[in-house]
Amino acid sequence: MGFGAGAAETIAPITIADVFFLHERGTVMALYTSFLAVGASLGIIISGLITIQHQWRVIYQVATPLVGFVLLLAFFTFPETAYTRETPSDTKSGSTSPRLASTDEADPTARDTERATAEKTSDTATTTSDAERSSNPLPEKKTYAQNLRIFNGTLTNESFLKLVVRPLALICLPPVLWAALVQAVTIGFLVAISSNIDVAFHTTYGFESWQVGLCFVAAIVGSIIGIPAGGHLGDIIADWFTRRNGGVRDPEMRLPTMLPSLITMPLSLILYGVGIEYKLHWMCPTIGLGLRESLFPPNQPPPSANNKPQ
C-alpha cells in the first residue's frame, strides 16, 4: 500500500511545482489539501445518509462508478506537466540584480548606475537569447492526442536504480524527515479520528451513522477556512521575508505560518478526546473535528531549482 497507493500522493505537489510559480504554490497546495479533506468529509456525509434506507454495500456500489469516472477524467484531462527544454537555459535573460530594489536608503547616483548596468546586461542577454532561439527553434506543440500518450519520452538520463534509491537516502536529511513526520502525524490523526468516530459518537451520544456523518459538516467548514489561513497567508509571509532577504526565497520562510497550527492542532485533539471521555456536549468533539481542518499545517511545495520569486 505504501509503495503503490502512496505514490499517488506525490502527483499533486509535483504537478503544482511544474505549473505554478514559486510565490503561488502555498495557496495552491492549501487548495489541494483542503479539497482532499472536503472530498473525504463529503463522502462520509453521503455514506451516512445512504445507510438510512440502504445497506452499507450500497456505499461501495455508488463509489465504484465515481472512482471509474475520476479515472477517465484523469486520463483525458491530465497531460504530462514535466517539460524538457531543448534550447539552452535562458536564466540570463532578464536576470537583474535581486537586491536592486531592496536598498531604499542607497545613494541615488549609485542606484541609477546600478540600474543602468543591469539594463545593459539584460539587453545583451536578451540579444544572445534571441540568437540561441533562432538556431535552436522550440519543438512543435503537441496535439491533444499526443498528450494522451502514457509514455512521453525520457525525462531524465539518470538510471532507474538511482531514482528508486534516492528517496530512501533523502529521508535521512533532517528537513525531509521533519516534513515527512509532520505530514504523517497530521494525516495519521485524521485517519484515527475518522476510523473511530462512528463508534465513539454512537457509544457516547447514541448517534446513528447518518448523524455521525453530518458532524463532518464541521470538517468541511474548517477546510474552507484553512484555504486562506494555511496557504495564502503562507505566501504573503514568505514573500515578506523574501523581500527582506533581497529577493532570495528560502523554504524556512514558510515556517512562521505553522505557528497557529501548533496551538490549534493539539487543541482540536483535546476537544475531541476530552469531550468524548467526559461525555461533554456533542458540539465539543465536533468543533474539535472542524478545528482540526481549519489550520492544517500547510504543505511545503517542492523546492524550485531557482529560489528567486518569478
d(CA 50, CA 242): 50
What was the pLDDT predicted at 127?
Answer: 56
Looking at residue 106, its pLDDT comes to: 44
Neighbours of 276 (CB within 10 A): 20
C-alpha 78: how far from chain center:
17
Distance from C-alpha of 218 to C-alpha of 297, rounded to nearest angstrom: 18
pLDDT value of position 296: 55
pLDDT at 117: 59
Neighbours of 135 (CB within 10 A): 9
User: What pLDDT does residue 93 have?
Assistant: 46
**Which residues, 6 or more positions from 266, have their beta carbon under 8 angstroms from its beta carbon?**
none
231/258 Cα distance (integer angstroms)? 10
Q: At 109, list the grid cell.
A: 547616483
pLDDT for residue 20: 92
Cα dist from 90 to 97, 217, 231, 246, 249, whole Å: 16, 49, 30, 22, 20
The predicted pLDDT at position 303 comes to 45
Q: Given this model, what pLDDT does residue 195 score?
A: 86
The predicted structure's pLDDT at residue 201: 95
Q: CA dihedral defined by 143, 147, 151, 154, rounded to 10 degrees?
A: 70
Domain ranges of the chain: 9-52+159-294
How far is residue 93's CA from residue 87's CA, in Å, rounded to a whole number?
13
Q: What is the pLDDT along the chain (310 residues), one digit of tens a residue?
A: 666 777 777 888 889 988 999 888 888 988 988 888 898 899 999 999 999 999 999 999 999 999 999 999 989 998 888 877 765 444 444 444 444 444 444 444 544 555 555 555 555 555 555 555 566 677 788 888 888 888 877 878 889 899 888 888 888 888 888 888 888 888 888 888 888 899 999 999 999 999 999 999 999 998 888 888 778 888 899 999 999 999 988 888 888 888 888 888 889 999 999 999 999 999 999 999 888 776 554 444 444 444 444 3
Please state the pTM of the whole predicted model.
0.72
